[in-house]
Amino acid sequence: MDQIEVTLVILGMAAVTYLPRVLPFFTKIDVQRYIFLKFIPVAIFSSLAMPDLMGVEGVHVSRMVAAVIAVVVAYKTRRMFLTVFMAVFILYLIEKLEVF
């Protein structure tokens, strides 16, 4: 892909991400009726994360362990920074100590 195509893809993804958040402010859409919209960020994140967890050669055990710990930390604390920090830290420890 050349530079123009990459720029258009980035702009398209930005529009698709930004428009659903802004449209309710400019329209009379009753957001409460569409409660399922709150699951969109989780669905997008999982679609981005799963290919990294499941490699071509199979499951990356170290990444899967870090992901499970991140889910537990996220569920218990509801803090994004702590969740990301713990996942990266656990993955670093696993790879540094060569546990798996």
Residues 27 and 43 in one domain: no
Mean pLDDT of 18-28: 82
Whole domain around residue 5: which residue ranges?
1-33
What span, in angstroms and rounded, lies between the C-alpha atoms of 80 and 21? 20
Give the per-residue pLDDT at 100.
67
pLDDT tens-place string over residues 46-82: 888 888 888 777 888 888 999 999 999 999 999 989 9
Residues 58 and 91 in one domain: yes
Residues 50 and 66 in one domain: yes
| Total domains present in the chain | 2
Could you report how far apart the first and last alpha carbons of the chain are, in Å?
Answer: 37
> Across-strand partners of 59?
54
∠ Cα 24 81 35 (to 5°) = 25
Residues 6 and 50 in one domain: no
Stronger pLDDT, 22 or 65, i.e. the higher one: 65
This prediction's pTM: 0.59
What span, in angstroms and rounded, lies between the C-alpha atoms of 99 and 88? 15
**CA 8 to each of CA 21, 22, 78, 97: distance values in angstroms, whole numbers, following the listed order:** 20, 20, 35, 42
